[in-house]
């Protein structure tokens, strides 16, 4: 079977981004499977969330489910995001208060995909931009995702930084979460007080200001065996 021909799209945006509905179930799941054809099973949780119906604080509780609908009615793109599961399993994040602080501030895109005939027309960019806006309006300070290395340039153009792990400065220990095997971790602040800091002595940028009392001042450095060292009076 030959490749499906790409659709010709008008200059004006012939699609709109909206939250997913019950009726989008089959199309959304088919599209999300394209995000990782070798292992589509993890996206099955999105089906369960969708069928629970719309509710806050995101589109479906703590999950954000978006679709791109073409002007002909077809669902041609999909995105799913939520706080990452590792927040509640990471050994460095203990206590309900610390977990809740991050669950309300950190959003992760688990999958984004566009039907092949409609690729190359800005649909993926529009889905990601809407996810950023939606998460930002709800008080999330950072958006992240894991992706294949060949997509690094794409996410760089959208303003994302990259690393082998996500490193967050917290009131307790530094939280380091590695990317999945063979993947790159990308991240982007959603508000001005959340920043990515290059800290001497540490190989990856650190997220500063995501939760209260975690601003990393100038002059800070990472000391092996001691952790983050903040100069006196900073």
Cα gap 89→95, rounded to integer Å: 11
Tens of pLDDT, residue by residue over 99-142, are: 999 999 999 999 999 999 999 999 999 999 999 999 999 999 99
Is the pLDDT reported for residue 2 higher than 80? no
Report the pLDDT value the prediction gives residue 234, as an integer from 0 to 100. 58
With helix as H, strand as E and coil as C, how does 111-149 read? EEEECHHHCCCCHHHHHHHHHHHHHHHCCCCEEEEEECH
105 within 8 A of 140, measured Cβ to Cβ: yes
Tens of pLDDT, residue by residue over 142-159, are: 999 999 999 999 999 999
Using alpha carbons only, what angle is made at residue 131 by residues 129 and 135, rounded to the nearest 5 degrees? 120
Report the pLDDT value the prediction gives residue 43, as an integer from 0 to 100. 84
Cis peptide before 224 (omega within 30 of 0): no
């Amino acid at each position: 079977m030959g490749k499906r021909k790409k659709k010709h799209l008008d200059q004006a945006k012939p699609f709109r981004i909206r939250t997913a509905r019950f009726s989008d179930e089959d199309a959304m799941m088919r599209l999300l499977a394209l995000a990782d054809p070798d292992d589509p099973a993890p996206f099955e949780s999105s089906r369960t969330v969708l069928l629970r119906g719309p509710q806050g604080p995101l589109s479906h509780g703590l999950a954000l489910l978006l679709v791109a609908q073409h002007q002909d009615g077809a669902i041609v793109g999909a995105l799913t995001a939520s706080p990452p599961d590792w927040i509640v399993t990471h050994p460095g994040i203990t206590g309900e208060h610390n977990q809740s602080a991050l669950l309300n501030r950190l959003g992760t895109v688990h999958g984004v995909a566009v039907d092949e005939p409609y690729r190359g027309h800005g649909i993926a960019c529009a889905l990601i931009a809407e996810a950023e806006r939606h998460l930002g309006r709800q008080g999330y300070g950072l958006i992240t995702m894991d992706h294949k290395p060949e997509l690094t340039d794409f996410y760089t153009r959208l303003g994302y930084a990259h690393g082998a792990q996500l490193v967050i400065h917290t009131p307790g220990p530094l939280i380091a979460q590695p990317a999945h095997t063979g993947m790159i971790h990308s991240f982007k602040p959603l508000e001005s007080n959340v920043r990515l800091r290059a800290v001497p002595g540490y190989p990856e940028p650190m997220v500063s200001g995501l939760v209260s009392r975690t601003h990393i001042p100038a002059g800070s450095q990472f000391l092996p065996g001691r952790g983050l060292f903040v100069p006196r009076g900073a």
